[in-house]
Structure 1
Amino acid sequence: MNPTSQGIPSLPDLTHPQELIQFGEQGMKLFLLFVVLTGLLGVAIALLNFSLGRRTKILWTETWVTQYGLLLRTVQHATLILLITVSGFFLCSTLANRYHHWEQARIAAIASNVAGERLEHTAPQLRYTVQEPYTTTTVINGQVVEEKRTQEVSRFLTPSRTQVDVTLQQTTDPANNRLLYQVGFDGNYEVVNTLETADEFFFETQPPAGYTLLQDYRVERNGQRLQSSQQSNYSFPLRLGAGETAQFRITYQASGGPRWVYNAGSQLLSNFRLTALANFPGAQFASGIVPTKMQPEGRGTRFTWEFADNVSVLNPFGVFTATASVRNTGVLPRLLLLAPALLFWWLLVLYLSVPLRLRDVAIASGIFFASLLTLTYLSRIIPAPFAWAILAPVMLILAWGLGRNQRASIAAAIATISGAILPVFGLLVPFTGLTLSLAGLLSVVWLTLRHWYGWQPRSLR
């Protein structure tokens, strides 16, 4: 498997046992160091308070003890937020890896569905040979000797009129679920001897390239089937007088990859008409050669290329099956990697809006990560912005309970909208920078009105 489809490189993944053990060991070391430092600070203050007299303690050590108690309460909240943020980061990084793997596997499945050789039909040619003189120069006994010789050189005449009708049916290979084309080809070609004299010609054609099955391949001249001299040689001799015209017809049934093209072989096409009826949905014209006419017919589309005057087409053109485009990849992994920062911002806005206890912080964090987890798997069924539009009201209703009264509940709701719902939504839509800027501005305006101007909703005054 391609390494890029297994996850985002160098990103922690809790489904990898070695990484999980390493993170656990480092986390325990940091936690023990933090506990020891906090305990030593408390013991130092207690010993200092005990060693000094009561009068001295009243004067300045009592302030230290009070500040230490406030520090312990702050440390409790900070420790809880740190643990939740770090744990959330590892959880979200694992989800980001899994989602990235799912996206890459989905893209690979779509690509493999239409992978394979293409069916390519090459335009026939009318070949003739001419004797062309050339000169060779050699040195004999110190003298330059020129010798004139002749050689046979192949020349080609292109069809003067082409009428091709192709019918395409789409099936699925049961072995690998790849798409296959079943092609019915019927081509009529008119060739004219534009030379001034009668000559021997060879009508040369080849079976389509890239087929897995070819049957009923026939070449006819004026209604009579032609037989090649060799089974693998599709060159048919004929004699045409000056200005004489011959009609040829090529028919066959073939199966092959999900793409059929007509290769003009750098010929000048004139009086050319190609119609391809694709009896299935999702068909599109290939190589950027726009058809002169496209019209729906039955379950599919009929494509028509018609060139009355001479035209040169360099690339093969025809029909292929257009797959559904995969857009907005990498959006959820980016959101999941930024989720701890979004949680920290939301908790900061909440702290400045309503009083929070430890259990409030834990519950709010649980609501946030549960919403993101639901969003991650719900977005596999429906688009992520619509999934978040469903989850946001649920999150807003749950956040309403953070307030002790109606006024505090409204404050918590506003903080949730500006600190969590809008930032997450901003990372799901194309206008990410604008949406995040509006969310940040709304948060700052709300906190400014609340703390500097003492603003409250009119209905609650």
Structure 2
Amino acid sequence: MSSTSQGIPGLPDLTHPTQLIELGSQLITASLLLVFLVIALGVAIALVSFAFRHNQSQQTIFIGDWAIRYSQILQGLQHLILVLILLVVGFFLSSTLSNRYHHWEQAKVTQVAQSVAGDKLEQIAPQVRYLTQEPYSYTTQVNGKIIKVNDTQQVNRFLSLAGSQIQVNLEQTTDVQGRSAVYRVDYTADYKVVNRLKDINNFFFEAPPPNGYSLLSNYKVERDGLRPAGGDGVPPSVADRTRLEPVNPGNYSFAFRLEPGQETNLRVTYQAQGGPRWVYNSAGQLLSNFRLTTIANFAGADFASGVVPKETKVDGRSTQYTWIFDDNVSVKNPFGVFTNTNPIQKTGIIPRLLLLAPALFLWWILLLYLSVPMSLKNVAIASSIYFACLLTLTYLSRFMDAQLAWTMISLVLLTLTWGLGATRSASLAAIICTIAGGVLPVLGLLVPYSGLTLSIAGLMSAIWLAVRHWYNWYIWRPEDMKK
């Protein structure tokens, strides 16, 4: 498996045991360091108290002052430790989800690419070959003398097709493994051959089957009756057709005789399975009086290689494409029909959002600290709700539009956030903080205009804090504290 399909390189993933063990060792080291710092501060206060043991009044003042400060530091440290723990845990959770979502997106892209760029049925245009004698000369040595010898040799030459009338019916089924589609092709082609040569009447009609087939059945080549060149063009009846046999078993070269000035039709029919594309390759020939009609009896069909058909007709789930070339048209690329897939858009948005989730959480929690009284219990519950909403968004976005999913999740988040305040004014402040610091930033990373949305969210947060602290729009009282 490639590194791109495994996840984003360099990000921690808690589903990997080695990274989980490494994370645990780092957390233990950080916890021990914090414990040592708290103990060291307590020991320092004890040593200072011991130094003032002979002066009781000065010792009482110093110890009382430092005891109050130490208690305040410990209370603030509790909130700081809790926020840091939530931030670190949220980061590792978000990075793990980002890796998993990136892996899911890459697997989906790979699956779609395999279904579009998989095997294909490619029909090569047939050729009419004949043998002719052409003079050539060479030099040789006879009795020590160099002489020039004139001789003849047989060479292959090809006769252009005077017309091609092709009709292809395509059915689509899912293969056994369910990874892609299989085409069932019913192919019928009438090729018009006109002998405009004067002294050649033996030809070989070389009509190979399509490349890439998994099953080929009922392959046959039939010849219509003879008629003068430039006739009325009405094909003979079915009874006049003669089936041609290959020159050698296993190849697709059919010999036929056609006198100068005469014309005939050669019909090729077969049923084949393969796919999930069918294309016609002119093999560098000039196409004259050419008409190809493909009828795709399934949804999602589209024309391939960018060669736009002359006519397109849609009838329910069936789509008919017709290519018409009247006189001496060269088509470089193979053209035909393939099964179109809906483009995979907006990839990488959710992984980016998850990587920025800890920063968005810190933005939101700081707004709450500066707006409403927050206890340790409220911080823990609010943080759990926030990351639970992001987790829900991660999995809902696989089945529905991410913006719609976040809109529904935001209603739940705002409803639960109302409970942070003990009074209506405190609850309203919590709602404003959640909209400015929780809902809009996430939405800004989901919509195309991310910069504009994030700017509006930042401006709304700054205006709220200014109104809250400078103009006393809302001043919480001790009874507003949510116990």
Same fold (TM over 0.5): yes
Query: Residues 257-309 of structure 1: CA distance to partner in whole angstroms, max 9, x if unpaired?
Result: 21111111111111111100001101111111111111112422011111122
- Residue 96 of structure 1: how far off its partner (Å): 1.9
- Residue 34 of structure 1: how far off its partner (Å): 0.9
Q: Which amino acid aligns with 1:43?
A: V
- Alignment match of 2:385 (pick from 345, 367, 373): 367
Find the counterpart in structure 2 of residue 7 from structure 1.
Answer: 7
Find the counterpart in structure 2 of residue 234 from structure 1.
Answer: 252
- Residue 177 of structure 1: how far off its partner (Å): 5.0
Find the counterpart in structure 1 of residue 290 from structure 2.
Answer: 272
Q: Distance in 2 between matches of 1:144 and 1:355?
A: 112
Find the counterpart in structure 2 of residue 45 from structure 1.
Answer: 45
- After superposition, the Cα gap between the structure-2 partners of 1:261 and 1:244, relative to the gap in structure 1 and judged at 3 Å, is same
- Alignment match of 1:136 (pick from 135, 138, 141): 138
8 Å CA contact 1:272–1:307 kept in 2: the answer is yes
Q: Which amino acid aligns with 1:234?
A: Y
Q: Distance in 2 between matches of 1:108 and 1:302?
A: 29
- Residue 148 of structure 1: how far off its partner (Å): 3.5
User: What TM-score, normalized by structure 1, do the two folds share?
Assistant: 0.92
- Residue 71 of structure 1: how far off its partner (Å): 2.1
SS at match of 1:128: strand
Q: Distance in 2 between matches of 1:139 and 1:84?
A: 96
- Residue 332 of structure 1: how far off its partner (Å): 1.8
Greater Cα shift, 227-236 or 297-306: 227-236
Greater Cα shift, 101-110 or 440-449: 101-110
Unaligned residue ranges in structure 2 (runs of 5+)? 225-240, 476-483
Q: Distance in 1 between matches of 2:142 and 2:454?
A: 88
SS at match of 2:356: helix
Q: Distance in 2 between matches of 1:90 and 1:146?
A: 87
Find the counterpart in structure 2 of residue 300 from structure 1.
Answer: 318
Percent identical: 54
8 Å CA contact 2:247–2:255 kept in 1: the answer is no
Task: Figure out how many residues of one structure are paired with residues of the other and give that number.
Answer: 457
- After superposition, the Cα gap between the structure-2 partners of 1:77 and 1:175, relative to the gap in structure 1 and judged at 3 Å, is closer
Q: Which amino acid aligns with 1:152?
A: Q
Find the counterpart in structure 2 of residue 97 from structure 1.
Answer: 99
- Residue 144 of structure 1: how far off its partner (Å): 5.9
- Residue 240 of structure 1: how far off its partner (Å): 3.0
Q: Distance in 2 between matches of 1:441 and 1:157?
A: 77
Find the counterpart in structure 1 of residue 358 from structure 2.
Answer: 340
Greater Cα shift, 36-45 or 389-398: 36-45
8 Å CA contact 1:166–1:185 kept in 2: the answer is yes
Q: Which amino acid aligns with 1:274?
A: L
8 Å CA contact 1:132–1:151 kept in 2: the answer is yes
- Residue 62 of structure 1: how far off its partner (Å): 5.2
- Residue 132 of structure 1: how far off its partner (Å): 3.0
- Alignment match of 2:370 (pick from 323, 345, 352): 352
- Residue 417 of structure 1: how far off its partner (Å): 0.6
Unaligned residue ranges in structure 1 (runs of 5+)? none
- After superposition, the Cα gap between the structure-2 partners of 1:198 and 1:105, relative to the gap in structure 1 and judged at 3 Å, is closer
Q: Which amino acid aligns with 1:82?
A: L
Q: Which amino acid aligns with 1:191?
A: V
Q: Which amino acid aligns with 1:395?
A: L
Query: Residues 9-32 of structure 1: CA distance to partner in whole angstroms, max 9, x if unpaired?
Result: 232122222221221111111111
Q: Which amino acid aligns with 2:126?
A: P
SS at match of 2:373: coil
Q: Which amino acid aligns with 1:44?
A: A
